Amino acid sequence: MALRHAVLAALLDGEFSGYQLTKIFDVGVSDFWYATPQQLYAELAKMETDGLLTGRRVVQRGRPDKRVFTVTGAGLAELAAFAAAPAKPLLIRDDLIVKVHACDLLAPGPLIAQLQERAAEAAAKLELFGKMLLRLRGELEEEEFLRRGERVGPYLTCLGGLRLERQMHEWCLQTARTLSERAVRDGTAQDESAQQEKGALS
């Protein structure tokens, strides 16, 4: 029961449909959670049954109708109870870090490529978060907004996401550089036979 709290938090920013929430959770906005569409549709149905949300049908022209959800009083109470309870420890699961951990026994080529790819993704998110921060604080300066803004929650999490992506970007590039240099030292990165001798597995 943890996705539901993320959904409640997301719905504080406005009314959203299941589809809109899939977009929000797919990007993992501000890196605060991730969920698949199937999870969301199922959870939304359950939450409505449990009285935490109310759905409202919105007729659209040119597009299929959608049902947007609003947090109820019971939903807010659930969120408050969640906030008061001790937080579970941060959960991270990352294939890439596992691969780097094992990098001394692996072919360096694919790993370096994946690190650079991840760095590029991080850079894209950095830009996104930067724009988001601008949008959220409007005309105010950051300090001013954090002191007197009405809704700073999304801004603070976005700042966290920005920091995370910045450090991810740097780490990936630095790690890729280190592995490249070592590959060169061992007899050029693309030379497969040289790596076989060193014990790398294709």
Partner DNA sequence: CTAGTCATGTAATCCGTTACATGATTAT
Partner DNA sequence: ATAATCATGTAACGGATTACATGACTAG
What does the alpha-carbon distance between residue 1 and residue 3 come to, in Å, rounded to a whole number?
A: 6
178 binds its own copies (CB under 8 A): yes
Going by C-beta distance under 8 Å and a sequence separation of 6 or more, which residues neighbour residue 98? none
63 binds DNA (CB under 7 A): yes
**What is the nearest approach in angstroms of DNA to the Cβ of residue 20?**
6
Stretch that binds DNA, among 55-63, 119-127, 137-145, 188-196 (CB under 7 A): 55-63
* Residue 35 or 158 having the CB closest to DNA: 35
Query: With CB cut-offs between 5 and 8 Å by kind, which of DNA, its own copies, none does residue 128 bind?
Result: none
- In the list 56, 58, 94, 188, the residue contacting its own copies (rule: CB under 8 A) is 94
148 binds DNA (CB under 7 A): no
What does the alpha-carbon distance between residue 121 and residue 126 come to, in Å, rounded to a whole number?
A: 9
Query: With CB cut-offs between 5 and 8 Å by kind, which of its own copies, DNA, none does residue 17 bind?
Result: DNA
What does the alpha-carbon distance between residue 92 and residue 77 come to, in Å, rounded to a whole number?
A: 28
Give whole-number Cα distances, 146 to 14, 74, 132, 141, in Å: 20, 29, 15, 9
